Amino acid sequence: MMMRGREIAAVIFDIDGTLVDSFETLCSVFNQGISKYHLAPIPKQILMGCFKKNLNLFEILTEIYSTSLNESLIELCRQEILETYLRIEKEEVKPFPEVHAIFEKLQEMGIKIGIATGRTSSPEREWDRFKSYGLDHFIDALVTSQEVAKRKPAPDAILECSRRLKVPPAGCLVIGDTESDVIAARQAGSLAVAVALGDGDWDSLAKENPALILRGMREFSLFLDVQDRRQGGTS
């Protein structure tokens, strides 16, 4: 697949907000967790902004409650939120409908699939997640932030994923829904595709000058169909 004069041999995906629809559940669980400590719920818009800045739970809680909670209480809140989320994630958090077809299409086109997530979970847990979705057999490499020195917007996870895929960063297309994803891709030397899901996302993502901005994964699926026809695919 050619894009901006480059031969693309691999596509590296973010997870949350890109492959899976997790933000509604994250916001709900966050407010459930803090309610146990008699804290008022945080508006969804504020939480979404924090998630899209790629802050982890401790950083989000610190940013919001640094003047009202000490570090030990922040850690208790973090644990409560995380434990609740992990309990319900398998039931409530699902891939976007187009993901399976996209992975199939990439495999048919001979393009490798990588995952580079800002999550600090173990890689084993993330492999289990994709196995439960029936998607694990499509994935050639998976890297979580637990495995690298710096989280996005640093390029570490993308560079490590590129190394495991045995594809140079310049031959990788990186797909994510946040400015951090686009910055990390650029710093790695890869091309970035930004997925704008919310009303205010397009302008903020455009400022980082990705190679392409899309309104959701369905548009990426259509993009792949066009690329496949150009290279003579039959599907």
One domain for residues 130 and 197: yes
Q: How many domains does the chain have?
A: 2
- 14 forms beta bridges with none
The range of the structural domain enclosing residue 149 comes to 2-21+94-230
One domain for residues 56 and 156: no
- Which tens digits make up the pLDDT trace of 67-93? 778 899 999 999 999 999 988 888 899
Q: What CATH number did the domain enclosing 11 receive?
A: 3.40.50.1000
Best CA proximity match to 92, nearest among 54, 129, 138 = 129
Give the residue from 38, 59, 92 where a domain finishes: 92
Q: How many CA atoms lie within 13 A of 173 on its CB side?
A: 25
One domain for residues 75 and 180: no
One domain for residues 15 and 31: no
Peptide bond into 123 cis (omega under 30): no
Residue 120 domain-assigned?
yes
What local confidence, expressed as pLDDT, does residue 199 receive? 59
Instruction: Summarize the confidence of residues 125-132 as an average pLDDT.
Output: 94
Instruction: Report yes or no on whether pTM surpasses 0.85.
Output: yes
| 32 Cα distance to chain centroid | 23
One domain for residues 10 and 64: no
Give the residue from 92, 112, 127 where a domain finishes: 92
Angle between helices 57-65 and 71-92 (to 10 degrees): 130
Residue 234 confidence class, pLDDT cut points 50, 70, 90:
very low
